A and B are shown apart, each in its own frame.
Chain A
């Protein structure tokens, strides 16, 4: 039994089903990331948990209590909006104390709580500023403080870091994690950034077209994606379709094109059989490249190189006409159009049955 339980939750907009019968159980104090591209239904789920929209079917329950038909203002669910949604006519303190005043708390108690939370998000001394006088990062921390101060049963974060530059992003990632742990908040974070999801959450839920593709711990979804879709989302590339034509222990031979075969060693070869149609994938940074021919390496030609600062993206056209993408960190590379050798290490390759 989860603290926050989502049971066959469904939302339709006309003919479009935005959320298709989702089930999810979240433990108290757990941080779960909903990860997916735009339009995958992750924000719709968030809005249903907050109570802004009603589901067509299914339930949301918090601490065993079904929340359907309970209006948003009675749910005690804190939400952080992507655009912050600060009250422009109120100062930082007025924004933060809004929920406490509604609870008719004593003045001294309100002051104490507001001061504590502003300290927690490192906004001391900014209390009397208006949102428009603050920087983006400061506004964001006000929004976070405002959601935290109400001591919500569930905290929802909608793309909390999407509007920040990379340095501030790193800082806020650490901050959010620290505060969430300290207050032991049951948290759902919605994001389209897989790095953000795996670094913040205890569990990651990958969504596509209103459905859950995979739920797992960050390491699991990052290294063992359940489907090619999840793999692509988690940064895998070099997808190759083929058919297994031979298998001997861990050594398998895949026919990727008419008459073109690829030899590959695969640790989980037991799951596969000769004749299976498969999709093979590997991260570009896991592809090994060499200027000279080595054992187990295939030959190709460099078609394009993109310098990215700390690494170089190398596009290779293999001798069997497949495009291969590799990331090279420190090797001095041949020129474009010249020959190169590459290999897929057996522990880095994933082979899916089609």
Chain B
């Protein structure tokens, strides 16, 4: 019994240290964002909200960047939910040759360096005048975030019992009704958890966006990089604090509606 107690104590210590390593920088950022001085210092000297005010200042483009990033992430995620769910169903419900190849192809964007992918996309789209910077970045994001939705959806569909769909058909449901009343509601938790990951990745993406960006359209991560080239004050810490709060809120909402275990259970 003594031995067991000792191990328990050791594990507790390791867990606490691990969490401190993960959480400490975030806590520092939150504290720094309320710092009164221009130079980032720790421990903080004086309390101030001026960096938060700075985000929303008239000449600041952070709000525009934030809205652009949200718009981009929402459109790309919605688009990929449709493609991802249909693609996942096609490779799980039907068996055909080269099925494995198709699955690899669907998930391959995960393994291509985004700098290389961004460069290719820049080359390809440079001469296409009809594509606005928004559309260029959107195409890039649609491709790179697709694997997150497909992998999650495939996870649940590989163990999906298709006789359930047959049962619904025998009860009088046409294929459209089977999909919306049976298949989709059953796979929804996995699709949503994949969509959340995809959304966050798109929102956070900086490499492809910075290659394809223009003065008229910048995303928040690009805006932050641009800002930091000239100034190094706690405004970025204030933005980071807001973003962390939003992420936390999304997680809590997700947990409330579909359960966080859907995120880890695949």
Contacts and interface: CB of A to CB of B under 8 A. Distances in A.
A174 B223 CA distance: 74
Interface stretch (B85-93, B162-170, B225-233): B162-170
B161 A102 contact: no
24 contacts: A50-B166, A50-B170, A51-B169, A52-B166, A72-B166, A72-B169, A72-B170, A73-B174, A74-B172, A75-B170, A76-B172, A81-B167, A83-B163, A85-B167, A86-B167, A88-B186, A89-B185, A89-B186, A99-B171, A99-B172, A103-B172, A146-B171, A147-B170, A150-B172
Contacts of A88: 164, 186
A177 to B, nearest CB: 22
Contacts, number: 66
Interface in A76-91: 76-79, 81, 83, 85-89
A89 to B, nearest CB: 5
B173 A73 contact: yes
B177 interface: yes
Nearest to B181: A98
B164 A87 contact: yes
Given A85-B163, A102-B177, A52 B171 contact: no
A74 B177 CA distance: 13
Interface in A27-72: 50-52, 71-72
Given A50-B166, A88-B186, A83 B172 contact: no
A75 B173 CA distance: 11
Interface in B164-202: 164, 166-175, 177-178, 181-182, 185-186
Given A51-B170, A78-B171, A147-B170, 20 more contacts: A71-B169, A72-B169, A72-B170, A73-B169, A73-B173, A74-B172, A79-B170, A81-B166, A86-B164, A86-B167, A87-B168, A88-B164, A89-B185, A98-B168, A98-B171, A98-B181, A102-B177, A103-B172, A147-B171, A150-B171
Nearest to B172: A102
Interface string A140-152: 0000001100100
Contact of A85 (B164, B173, B178): B164
A6 B224 CA distance: 72
Q: Which 3 A-B pairs have the closest CB atoms?
A: A99-B171, A85-B167, A72-B169
Contacts of B164: 85-88
B166 to A, nearest CB: 5
Nearest to B178: A73
Interface string A4-15: 000000000000
A89 B186 CA distance: 6
Contacts of A79: 166-167, 170
A103 B172 CA distance: 8
Chain B: interface residue count, which band? 10 to 19
Chain A: interface residue count, which band? 20 to 34
A71 B169 CA distance: 9
A99 to B, nearest CB: 4
A73 B166 contact: no
Contacts of A72: 166, 169-170
B161 to A, nearest CB: 6
Interface in A200-256: none
A52 B172 contact: no
Contact of A71 (B161, B167, B174, B181): B174
A102 B186 CA distance: 19
Contacts of B173: 73, 98, 102
B257 to A, nearest CB: 14
A321 B263 CA distance: 67
Nearest to A52: B166
Contacts of A89: 185-186
Nearest to A99: B171
B179 to A, nearest CB: 12
A73 B182 contact: no
Contacts of A75: 170
Most buried by A among B170, B177, B186: B170
A84 to B, nearest CB: 9
A79 B165 CA distance: 12
A73 B166 CA distance: 9
Nearest to A53: B166
Contacts of A73: 169-175, 178
Interface in A89-126: 89, 98-99, 102-103
B169 A102 contact: no
A80 to B, nearest CB: 9
Contacts of B167: 79, 81, 85-87, 146
Contacts of B177: 102
B221 to A, nearest CB: 38
A291 B182 CA distance: 66
Interface in A247-300: none
Given A52-B166, A72-B169, A87 B174 contact: no
A98 B169 CA distance: 11
Contacts of B181: 98
Nearest to B177: A102
A352 B170 CA distance: 43
